[in-house]
């Protein structure tokens, strides 16, 4: 897509570039370049988050009344593009991109006043407690039992695949408060402090060796009723609202474009021609993501929520990431297998060295993109029913 920007926007771009040139240190760039996981590692993420927060730019999409910078859609796009091109770390979405929008849409004024500034500053770090053993695609089947006892809910059961639960001090979670009717009508949305007695986090390691996800166990965990978002048994409405933001956050395109350019530089460095078919598929998918994202950003700019089209964005962006990781491994061949422990290729630039060190981990970890946040099969069902009306 060819976009030209007004002189004011070009001036804005220069402001962003100037900021990145000083604020984004080599250690942060390195942390991003050597990240082989699905998510940015916690330490790099939180350092960059705090730098952006001090500048007032941690949450480009948040309205100004909640502490966002009040940028236009074009400014947000330029900011995301410049950050991606400069190799900045991607911030964790659980607080800024998921819990924050939910509190703006469904939280009480007291919850907004307490939690939103803490999400913005990076003081609170969130994890998402949706999936359970036996309840992933069929999320409404969730079973974590929450009994009302006066002004608390008593929780017993478990959650699984909880990303960064071992770093988080808060979890937003779906719990079962009623079993009498349809499964969707007995779910409640709760905010749970991770240091509550009776809550335990156990690690689950990826095949790549990384520790990103966990199992979380609840044994008589008491959560104040004041931590409920929305009405009791109306958590499904809140849950679906959040999933639209999870699947269509609106900033995948610039990251994909920057990654595609890195791939081309890697191919040129190795004197390799990338396979025509996969390359075309990648280019078409990245363009489709960008087009969808512009539509989404303009809808968000008019105060709308992402809607079911976010499922299209989620599957396409995941497909593009997987293709990128596949092409990188194919291009590097056996050297990709050395991973982070392998030798630095002789004479390699920093970019080539980082790509070589992370290629295998990224290849394995990106397989999860067509599962995490809702599988591709389920997204296609949503697209068929709610976007295409089939």
**Chain residues in the site for ligand FAD (CB under 6 A):** 38, 127-131, 136-137, 161-163, 213, 368, 371-375, 377-378, 381
Q: How far does Cα 326 stand from its chain's mean position?
A: 21
- How does strand 211-224 pair with strand 199-205? antiparallel
Cβ-in-10-Å burial (0-12, 13-18, 19+) of 301 comes to middle
- Cα separation, 160 vs 212, whole angstroms: 12
Q: Which is nearer to ligand FAD, 68 or 129 (CB)?
A: 129
**Minimum distance of ligand FAD from residue 318's CB (angstroms):** 11
**Residues sharing a CB contact under 8 Å with residue 388, sequence separation 6 or more, in sequence order:** none
**Minimum distance of ligand FAD from residue 162's CB (angstroms):** 5
Q: Which is nearer to ligand FAD, 3 or 141 (CB)?
A: 141
| Torsion (CA) 328, 332, 334, 336 in degrees, nearest 10 | -60
Q: Which is nearer to ligand FAD, 222 or 371 (CB)?
A: 371
Q: Which is nearer to ligand FAD, 11 or 141 (CB)?
A: 141
Q: Is 91 helix (H, G, I), strand (E, B) or coil?
A: coil
**Minimum distance of ligand FAD from residue 365's CB (angstroms):** 7
Would you say 100 and 119 are in contact if contact means Cβ atoms under 8 Å apart? yes
User: Which helix (H) or strand (E) covers residue 336, if one does?
Assistant: none
Would you please indicate which residues are annotated as catalytic (active-site) residues?
A: 246
**Minimum distance of ligand FAD from residue 158's CB (angstroms):** 11
**Minimum distance of ligand FAD from residue 108's CB (angstroms):** 24
> Angle 19-124-119 (CA atoms, 0-180°, nearest 5)?
55
Q: Which residue is nearest to ligand FAD (CB)?
A: 136
User: Which helix (H) or strand (E) covers residue 288, if one does?
Assistant: helix 276-301
Q: Which is nearer to ligand FAD, 130 or 236 (CB)?
A: 130
């Amino acid at each position: 897509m060819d976009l030209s920007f007004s002189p004011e926007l070009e001036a804005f771009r220069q402001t962003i570039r100037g900021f990145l040139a000083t604020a984004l240190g080599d250690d942060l760039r390195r942390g991003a370049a050597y990240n082989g996981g699905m998510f940015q590692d916690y330490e790099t993420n939180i350092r960059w988050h705090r730098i952006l927060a001090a500048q007032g730019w941690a949450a480009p999409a948040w309205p100004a009344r909640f502490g966002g910078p009040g940028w236009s859609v074009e400014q947000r796009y330029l900011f995301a593009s410049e950050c991606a091109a400069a190799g900045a770390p991607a911030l964790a979405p659980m607080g800024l991109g998921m819990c924050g929008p939910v509190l703006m849409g469904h939280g009480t004024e007291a919850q907004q006043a307490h939690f939103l500034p803490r999400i913005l500053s990076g003081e609170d770090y969130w994890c998402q407690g949706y999936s359970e053993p036996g309840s992933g695609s069929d999320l409404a089947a969730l079973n974590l039992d929450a009994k009302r006892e006066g002004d608390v809910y008593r929780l017993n059961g478990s959650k699984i695949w909880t990303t960064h639960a071992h770093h988080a001090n808060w979890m937003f979670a779906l719990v079962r408060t009623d079993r009498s009717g349809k499964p969707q009508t007995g779910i409640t949305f709760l905010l749970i402090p991770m240091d509550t007695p009776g809550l335990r986090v156990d690690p689950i390691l990826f095949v790549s060796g990384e520790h990103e996800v966990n199992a979380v166990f609840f044994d008589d965990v008491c959560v104040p009723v004041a931590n409920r978002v929305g009405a009791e048994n109306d958590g499904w409405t809140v849950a679906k609202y959040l999933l639209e933001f999870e699947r269509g956050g609106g900033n995948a395109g610039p990251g994909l474009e920057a990654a595609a350019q890195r791939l081309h530089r890697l191919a040129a460095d190795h004197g390799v021609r990338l396979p025509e078919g996969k390359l075309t598929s990648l280019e078409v998918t990245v363009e489709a993501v960008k087009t969808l994202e512009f539509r989404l950003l303009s809808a968000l700019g008019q105060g709308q929520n992402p809607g079911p089209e976010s499922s299209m964005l989620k599957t396409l962006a995941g497909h593009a990431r997987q293709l990128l990781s596949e092409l990188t491994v194919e291009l590097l061949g056996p050297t990709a297998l050395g991973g982070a422990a392998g030798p630095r290729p002789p004479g390699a630039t920093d970019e080539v060295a980082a790509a070589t060190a992370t290629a295998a981990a990224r290849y394995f970890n990106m397989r999860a993109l067509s599962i995490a946040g809702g599988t591709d099969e389920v997204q296609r069902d949503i697209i068929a029913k709610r976007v295409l009306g089939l």
